[in-house]
């Protein structure tokens, strides 16, 4: 079985935003690759969100969210801001002024490096283990940049994520495991099968064995 088959699925990439709970920042968001339209009449979308994410708890509570569709103009900084840290620890919208707007449902959506947004109101939740699958009716949507294609996961890997440096020839190297999503390094010969990336929360199957300078 070749786990890389999963990379042949054509995922998009999105900033999923929700209303803060008052205890932390007022608005929050995280990167997801799991937004899809599931029915057209009524118009419904689904998102799968890790239960460990702050955004998950906010959507569970408020039952509303926005999905901002990342375009090929998206910068790595947006992934770092929304995907590599938690709203429990930082205000992800601080210093992001001019890069977002508020939609009719009162939630923020990202306007920088995105080409559209969709607002959802949760109708059904399904517990699928590590994640909750939210199915929501579409309450609002708009195109923000009609000319720029949406970013796919492959586009992110090839054009947005910084390239890793190959070790300099002749330098001593060691074997480590690197997260294909965010670049986090697990320093060790063997990666525990239940390992979860502390930065982007992806599992062991998203790690690759690489040689780096010792």
Ligand X SMILES: Cc1cc2nc3c(=O)[nH]c(=O)nc-3n(C[C@H](O)[C@H](O)[C@H](O)COP(=O)(O)O)c2cc1C
C-alpha torsion 73→160→199→61, nearest 10: 20
Q: Is 33 a residue that touches ligand X (CB under 6 A)?
A: yes
Which residue of 45, 49, 69, 160 would you call a contact of ligand X, by CB under 6 A? Answer: 49
Q: Smallest distance from the beta carbon of 86 to ligand X, in angstroms?
A: 3
Q: How many residues does the chain have?
A: 214
Task: Compute CA 5 distance to the chain's CA centroid, rounded to the nearest angstrom.
Answer: 20
Interacting span for ligand X (CB under 6 A) from 50-58, 105-113, 139-147, 185-193:
50-58
Which residue of 17, 32, 66, 74 would you call a contact of ligand X, by CB under 6 A? Answer: 32
Q: Is 71 a residue that touches ligand X (CB under 6 A)?
A: no
Q: Smallest distance from the beta carbon of 1 to ligand X, in angstroms?
A: 22
Interacting span for ligand X (CB under 6 A) from 28-36, 63-71, 110-118, 163-171:
28-36
Per-residue contact flags (x/-) with ligand X for residues 176 to 195, judged by CB under 6 A: -----xx-------------
Q: Is 55 a residue that touches ligand X (CB under 6 A)?
A: yes
Q: Cite the beta strand spans of the chain per DSSP E.
A: 14-19, 27-32, 36-39, 44-50, 64-70, 100-102, 108-110, 114-128, 131-143, 173-179, 185-186, 207-213
The two tokens of residue 206 are 């998203």
Interacting span for ligand X (CB under 6 A) from 85-93, 136-144, 171-179, 204-212:
85-93
Q: In what side-by-side order are the strands of the sheet with 131-143?
A: 27-32, 14-19, 64-70, 114-128, 131-143, 44-50, 36-39
Residues near ligand X (CB under 6 A): 13, 28, 30-34, 48-50, 53-55, 79, 83-88, 181-182, 200-201
């Amino acid at each position: 079985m070749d786990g890389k088959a999963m990379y042949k699925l054509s995922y998009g990439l999105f900033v999923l935003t929700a209303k803060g709970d008052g205890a932390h920042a007022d608005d929050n968001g995280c990167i997801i690759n799991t937004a899809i339209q599931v029915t057209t009449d009524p118009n419904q979308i689904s998102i799968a969100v890790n239960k460990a994410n702050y955004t998950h708890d906010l959507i569970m509570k408020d039952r509303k969210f926005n999905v901002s569709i990342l375009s090929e103009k998206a910068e790595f900084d947006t992934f770092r801001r929304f995907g590599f840290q938690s709203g429990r620890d930082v205000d992800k919208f601080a210093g992001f002024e001019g890069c977002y707007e508020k939609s009719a449902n009162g939630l923020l959506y990202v306007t920088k490096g995105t080409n559209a947004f969709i607002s959802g109101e949760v109708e059904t939740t399904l517990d699928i283990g590590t994640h909750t699958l939210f199915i929501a009716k579409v309450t609002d949507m708009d195109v923000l940049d009609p000319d720029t294609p949406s970013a796919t996961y492959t586009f992110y890997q090839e054009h947005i994520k910084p390239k890793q440096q190959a070790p300099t020839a002749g330098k001593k190297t060691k074997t480590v495991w690197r997260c294909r999503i965010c670049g986090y390094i697990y320093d060790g010969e063997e990666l525990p099968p239940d390992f979860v990336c502390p930065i982007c929360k992806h599992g062991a199957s998203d790690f690759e064995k690489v040689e780096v300078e010792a």
